[in-house]
Amino acid sequence: MYNATNVTEATLIVLPYIFCLLLDLPFNEDHDDYRDCSISNSSYCVKCPVIAKFQLDGDENGTIAKSTYGHIVSILIWLLILLFGLFGIVTNCIIIWILKRQKCTKAFDILLFALAIFDIVCSTMTVASSTGIITFFQNWNRGAFTLNWIYLTFLTSLLGRTGSTCITVVIAAERYFFIAFPNRLNTLSLFKAKLISLFVFVIAILLSIPRYSSWYVGPANKTDIPSLLNMTYVLHATGAEKVWYERLGAVHNHLDFWTPLPFLLTFTLLICWEIRKINLKKRELQVTRRKDIRAVQVFIPVIVFHFLCTIVPISHYLIMKLCKVIYREQNLAMLLSLTVNSSVNLPIYYLRASTFRKEARAILFSIIHRKSVM
């Protein structure tokens, strides 16, 4: 969702979007853009392609001030990310525990197992990334470690989201064929399910390579630029960045974010259509067939939540592209939406699937029993 350009015009350096989120570059009336120059060498300047600011403050300079409303809201969003993130890590671990207790006897179980792993990665990295951003805003630490922490964990959270989205599409397709062609229930074997999960992991890695290879944290060429807050380390662009984001037009971002959505929507509509047709013949259904339909219906709310959690990232992306503004609250809200999407699965399974409900209660009882014995 982020792209950047490292353009050198004389001594003008265009900084990456992800780094501009952390900076307060002043508006330059002579050039009609946001840039700041070195005190010792006024010909050496840095520039941001967009301005980053707090949306609630309406401050054109968008200063990172601890007393602003936007800063306070950002702290609150961060606390919500911590809450949902830790909840998501624990609940997805419980899902894996339940699936292991059931010994993953179906292809659907393998796919749910893979989804839980991707969601753990996403939840963990959103917690880490938002913590790094708040650490920078609070001025607790602005060194190389914090910049690397923000940069790497943020990109890894996107990797987790990519895997989670792709495996959700696979599950939706599997659920559709599960009810649309009941005579071919075993066409997707355990081996094929594992192979597909591995393939999704490889796809997520490949789509993340352009991001990881485009930027790196290194020493600042000038340490006396006021807007860089006297930082000795900054985020630089690599030579690969120009290839991925200029020549190829950030095609990996579009493949990552936009491409899975129409497939997911199509399979979801097909599932709902099949369920509607089957419900018209409800009296003629066998008991096993009714159980199959209920198993499919369990996953529909997961897909609905996935679509709801794309609203904030889409709005954040459109505002950044059309208005050339990064609102810091929206950026953290985007991380919050990723965290929420990664943490809702167990509550949905618990409410809609009796098997998961029984297994979750059994696990909770065993934990409580162990503690009482100790």
- The whole-angstrom separation of Cα 125 and Cα 154 is 7
pLDDT value at residue 123: 96
Tell me the mean pLDDT in the region 285-304: 74
Q: For 222-241, b where at least 16 C-beta lie within 10 A, e where not — what string?
A: bbebebbeebebbbbbeeeb
Tell me the mean pLDDT in the region 330-344: 94
- Read off the pLDDT band of 5 (50, 70, 90): very low
- Phi and psi angles of residue 195, each rounded to the nearest 5 degrees, phi first: -65, -40
Q: Judge contact between 235 and 14, C-beta under 8 A.
A: no
Give the pLDDT confidence of 238-279 residue by residue, as tens digits: 889 889 988 888 898 888 888 999 999 999 999 888 888 777
Q: Is residue 147 part of a domain?
A: yes
Give the pLDDT confidence of 26-53 residue by residue, as tens digits: 888 777 888 888 888 888 888 888 888 8
pLDDT value at residue 287: 55
Q: Which residues pair with 218 in a beta bridge?
A: 234
pLDDT of residue 364 exceeding 80, the answer is no
Q: Is residue 115 part of a domain?
A: yes
**What is the pairing mode between strands 27-28 and 12-14?**
unpaired
Q: Judge contact between 158 and 256, C-beta under 8 A.
A: yes
What is the average pLDDT score of the chain?
84
Q: Is residue 77 part of a domain?
A: yes
Q: Is residue 325 part of a domain?
A: yes
Residue 261, judged by CB atoms within 10 A of its CB (0-12, 13-18, 19+), counts as middle
- Read off the pLDDT band of 213 (50, 70, 90): very high
Domain that holds residue 284: 64-219+248-373
pTM, full prediction = 0.87
Q: Is residue 200 part of a domain?
A: yes
Q: Is residue 345 part of a domain?
A: yes
- The whole-angstrom separation of Cα 37 and Cα 26 is 10
- The whole-angstrom separation of Cα 46 and Cα 34 is 9
Give the pLDDT confidence of 168-200 residue by residue, as tens digits: 999 999 888 888 877 665 567 888 999 999 999
Count CA within 13 A, CB hemisphere, residue 145.
Answer: 4
pLDDT of residue 353 exceeding 90, the answer is no
pLDDT of residue 66 exceeding 70, the answer is no
Total domains in the fold of the chain = 1
Give the pLDDT confidence of 134-151 residue by residue, as tens digits: 999 888 888 889 999 999
**What is the pairing mode between strands 215-219 and 12-14?**
unpaired
Contacts of 160 (CB under 8 A, 6+ apart): 118, 119, 120, 121, 122, 123, 124, 125, 204, 338, 342
Q: Is residue 260 part of a domain?
A: yes
Query: Domain of 312: which CATH number?
Result: 1.20.1070.10
- The whole-angstrom separation of Cα 138 and Cα 87 is 25
- Read off the pLDDT band of 4 (50, 70, 90): very low
Q: Is residue 10 part of a domain?
A: no
